[in-house]
Amino acid sequence: MRVFVPGDSAAVSIGANDVAAAITRIDPSLTIVRNGSRGALWLEVLVEVETANGRIAYGPVMPADVQSLFDADFLNGGAHPLARGKTDEIPWLASQERITFARVGIIDPLSLEEYGQHGGLVGLRNALKSTSEIIINEVTESGLRGRGGAGFPAGIKWKTVAQTTSDQKYICCNADEGDSGTFADRMLIEGDPFTLIEGMTIAGIAVGATEGIVYLRSEYPYAISILQKAIELARVFGWLGTSVLGSTHAFDIQIRIGAGSYVCGEETAMLESIEGKRGVVRAKPPLPAIEGLFGQPTVINNVLTLSTVPMVLAQGADAYKARGVGRSLGTQVFQLGGNIARGGIVEKAFGITLNELLETYGGGTLSGNPFRAVQIGGPLGAYFSTEQLETSMDYESLIAAGGMLGHGGLVVFDDIVDLAVQAKFAMEFCAIESCGKCTPCRIGSTRGAETIDLIIQGVKVEENKKLLLDLCEVMTDGSLCAMGGLTPMPVKSAMVNFPSDFLGAAR
């Protein structure tokens, strides 16, 4: 009999290993599957039992609850205060549109058999029967855009690499998920690593690349070990290596581990870091698609972008673009974090409102205090107020509202937050993480933090606010990459949307 206890590091961080050990202690005959997390992190540790009626969920389970679960006959779906019914019918999960995250939490992450049973490898097999042109056309037609934050159409990037001639091309997966409030890349790798491998393999076949590299951050040790094991299994299976699933295509993947630098999530800094150098941003052009890793044509895509490709190839572009709004097609894996009652992964079609995400799914703040601000899109994203809750969550609407989607993370704050302090932190973070190449970012960030400090202390408030806005303009227009160029976004949005926090001593 199988019992599922997530091995996802978020679940483990609140006791999943202890829960699994406690279950085994009481009944050693049970098979414990360490699946990924279903994404309802507020229900973790979510224990599931496989019954004739489907999987029955119990959560959040702490180690101390395990004996009472046995007493309630949970193995046969017995009643218990933590019982949640059938997992697939939990409204929070059932109402989502899981495409990229279709298998996460459901399968054993390292079982190729289960991967195949749940639709895995269909996209790759279709790609192998196809031509480069048709694959790229399918990806372009699907409307899939870069999920790392820039939102660049994936198919167009691939086409550039495919059309550039070279003996060696690379597929680089950006798994340097450094934005606070984002964890989808980690959860996908920990819960369904073969999907990423499949997406990278398809990309390699499409553009003529034989080497893939995943740049994975050191802060994610469990993701590193799962992905490494998955790569090894895929090699043994005859998927990665000199002949992909018996075809004439060769493709293999290697992991490079980050070293705690936020700016290395910027694509050119990431290339420098993979080359073993300081993570200093490169000027563009040349585009990485033409001169990327080691000077060779390189596809750089985020984990979620690459992991969505197998579904596009399996079900077709039309099925993917049937969801979404305007030029934001398909689904977005939103991540609810910070001070939120029901945090986790919400994958929905673009166009859901901010309010639906925060209220229907998020259930308000964790503290129970009134909600005051939400930062969307990571540390370089804007702070939105309660007056903007009807904003449609898609690339264009968020830009129009003075923000950006980024990697899809939402960080919620209750009414204790001081947005002047948050604005100052944005500048301080930029000062700590700047690669130092360009002046507006390297020096502007320090001067910005000092200026906000003066505003907080009430020193020449109006003058300093003017100075700060001027500095923000210089950073936005004069920085080489998004680090310095977007740090003004949280700062300015805080000033515009929360003016009462910038009144100095008068607050």
Partner 1 sequence: MKYSPWSQDAARVLLATLRDEKGPVLMALQLMQKEFGYVNPECVPLIANYFNKSRADVHGVLTFYHDLRTTPPGEHQISLCVAEACQAVGARDLEKKVKAKFPDETADSYCFGNCALGPAVMVDGKLIGRATLAKIEEARR
In whole angstroms, how close is the CB of 158 to partner 1 at the nearest point? 23
Of 173 and 313, nearer to partner 1 (C-beta) is 173
In whole angstroms, how close is the CB of 181 to partner 1 at the nearest point? 5
Contact 31/2 with Cβ under 8 angstroms?
yes
Of 96 and 182, nearer to partner 1 (C-beta) is 182
404: tokens are: 């950006």
In whole angstroms, how close is the CB of 425 to partner 1 at the nearest point? 7
In whole angstroms, how close is the CB of 9 to partner 1 at the nearest point? 5
Of 25 and 277, nearer to partner 1 (C-beta) is 277
Q: How many residues in total does the chain contain?
A: 507
Residues contributing to the site for partner 1 (CB under 8 A): 9-10, 12-14, 41-42, 44, 177-183, 185-187, 218-222, 256-262, 273-280, 294, 335-340, 343-344, 366-367, 375, 379, 409, 411-414, 417, 422, 425, 429, 433
In whole angstroms, how close is the CB of 330 to partner 1 at the nearest point? 23
Of 255 and 474, nearer to partner 1 (C-beta) is 255
Of 115 and 413, nearer to partner 1 (C-beta) is 413
248: tokens are: 């004439």
Collapse the DSSP code of 418 into the 3-class scheme (helix H, G, I; strand E, B; otherwise coil) and give the result. coil
Of 18 and 50, nearer to partner 1 (C-beta) is 18
- Alpha-carbon gap, residue 263 to 454, rounded angstroms: 27
Of 400 and 416, nearer to partner 1 (C-beta) is 416
**DSSP assignment string, 37-91:** --SBGGG-S-EEEEETTEEEEE-S--GGGHHHHHHTTGGGT---TTEEEEGGG-H
Of 14 and 454, nearer to partner 1 (C-beta) is 14
- Alpha-carbon gap, residue 175 to 85, rounded angstroms: 35
105: tokens are: 């939490």
Collapse the DSSP code of 257 into the 3-class scheme (helix H, G, I; strand E, B; otherwise coil) and give the result. strand
In whole angstroms, how close is the CB of 401 to partner 1 at the nearest point? 19
In whole angstroms, how close is the CB of 497 to partner 1 at the nearest point? 16
In whole angstroms, how close is the CB of 347 to partner 1 at the nearest point? 15
Q: Residue 282 carries which side chain, given as an amino acid letter?
A: R
**DSSP assignment string, 276-328:** TS--PPPPSSSPTTTS-GGGS-EEEEEHHHHHHHHHHHHH-HHHHHTSEETTE
In whole angstroms, how close is the CB of 283 to partner 1 at the nearest point? 18
**DSSP assignment string, 141-157:** HHT-B-TTTT--BHHHH
In whole angstroms, how close is the CB of 367 to partner 1 at the nearest point? 8
In whole angstroms, how close is the CB of 122 to partner 1 at the nearest point? 29
Which are the contacts of 229, defined by CB distance < 8 A and separation ≥ 6?
110, 193
State how far the alpha carbon of 406 is from the alpha carbons of 69, 151, 186, 331, 410, in Å: 41, 8, 16, 14, 10
Helix or strand (DSSP H, E) at 413: strand 409-414
Of 85 and 295, nearer to partner 1 (C-beta) is 295
In whole angstroms, how close is the CB of 304 to partner 1 at the nearest point? 13
Of 159 and 217, nearer to partner 1 (C-beta) is 217
Of 252 and 414, nearer to partner 1 (C-beta) is 414
Helices (H), 374-438: 395-400, 419-433
Collapse the DSSP code of 342 into the 3-class scheme (helix H, G, I; strand E, B; otherwise coil) and give the result. coil
79: tokens are: 């009643």
Backbone angles phi, psi at 438, to 5 degrees: -115, 145
Of 277 and 327, nearer to partner 1 (C-beta) is 277
- Alpha-carbon gap, residue 259 to 474, rounded angstroms: 30
Q: Alpha-carbon torsion 391, 504, 337, 199, what sign?
A: positive
> Beta 211-216 vs 170-175: how paired, if at all?
parallel
Before 45, cis peptide (omega within 30)?
yes
